[in-house]
Amino acid sequence: MIGEMLTTHSLLVKIFLGFLVIGIFLPFIYGKDMRSFKKMSFIYTMIFQALTTMIAFSGLIPLFTGEGMNFSIPIAIMIAVWVIMMYLEIKKHKNIKVAPMQDEQKFMMLKGKFVKISIAQVILVALMVIIMILKSKGIIF
Ligand code: HEM
């Protein structure tokens, strides 16, 4: 049960990484179409929240029910990464949601921000995966 949860956790993290990588390219599809960009951003954020919720759930259950699974530095880092990513995502989505439809300059800025935040999130998740690989090999922690 615990093993299955962690396998799911690990798989979800990889799916999430793929999703984030695709996200980097999404703003380029919406040339000057702010309305569609806003719609896409809403759907993107919903999928983002669904995946991060499943990741947290599949990580927290083994932590609280697992025998011999203690709170450790990697787990603290994971929770911190999770909180940072949620914060970035909610802030980004709110900015896009409240942006006026006609402001083209703001639209360009928001698209740039979307790309930058996606890149930052990809780096965070990739670093987390690397940290956990190094941990499993006994190199760190
Ligand atoms: C509330 C948030 C989270 C909790 C409670 C949590 C908990 C855990 C636990 C208990 C493990 C097993 C640790 C071990 O084997 O020593 C684990 C593994 C892992 N977690 Fe998380 N996690 C969370 C979020 C995340 C996030 C956001 C990421 C990615 C950015 C992530 C990436 C990983 C990876 C890559 C592994 C290793 C999986 C493997 O062995 O294949 N976790 N997590």
Closest C-alpha among 125, 116, 124, 115 to residue 15: 125
Residue to substitute in 4, 7, 8, 9 for testing ligand 1 pocket (most ligand atoms within 8 angstroms of CB) = 9
- Measured between alpha carbons, how far is 113 from 95 in angstroms, rounded to an integer? 10
Say which residues have a Cβ less than 8 Å from residue 49's Cβ, sequence separation at least 6: 89
Instruction: Kindly report, residue by residue over 10-57, the tens digit of the pLDDT.
Output: 999 999 999 999 999 999 998 889 999 999 999 999 999 999 999 999
Q: Whose CA is nearest to atom 43 of ligand 1?
A: 59
pLDDT higher than threshold 80 for residue 67: no
Q: What DSSP line would sit under 72-140, residue for residue?
A: -HHHHHHHHHHHHHHHHHHHHHHHHHHS-TT-HHHHHHHHHHHHHHHHHHHHHHHHHHHHHHHHHTTS-
Q: Which residue has the tokens 């179409």?
A: 33
Rg over alpha carbons for the chain, rounded to the nearest Å, is 17
pLDDT at 141 over 90: no
Q: What is the pTM of this model?
A: 0.94
Q: Best mutation site among 14, 55, 127 for ligand 1, i.e. most ligand atoms within 8 A of its Cβ?
A: 55
Output the CA 59–ligand 1 centroid distance in Å: 6
Residue nearest to atom 40 of ligand 1 (CA): 10
Please choose from 13, 49, 58, 127 the residue to mutate so as to test ligand 1's pocket, defined by most ligand atoms within 8 A of CB.
13
d(CA 1, CA 135): 22
Q: Ligand 1 centre and the CA of 108: distance in Å?
A: 35
Alpha-carbon distance of 28 to 57, in angstroms, equals 33
pLDDT digits (tens, 9 = 90+) for 111-136: 999 999 999 999 999 999 999 999 99
Q: Which atom of ligand 1 is nearest to the CA of 127?
A: 30
Residues 6+ apart with CB under 8 A from 32: 104, 107
| pLDDT, average across residues 74-85 | 97
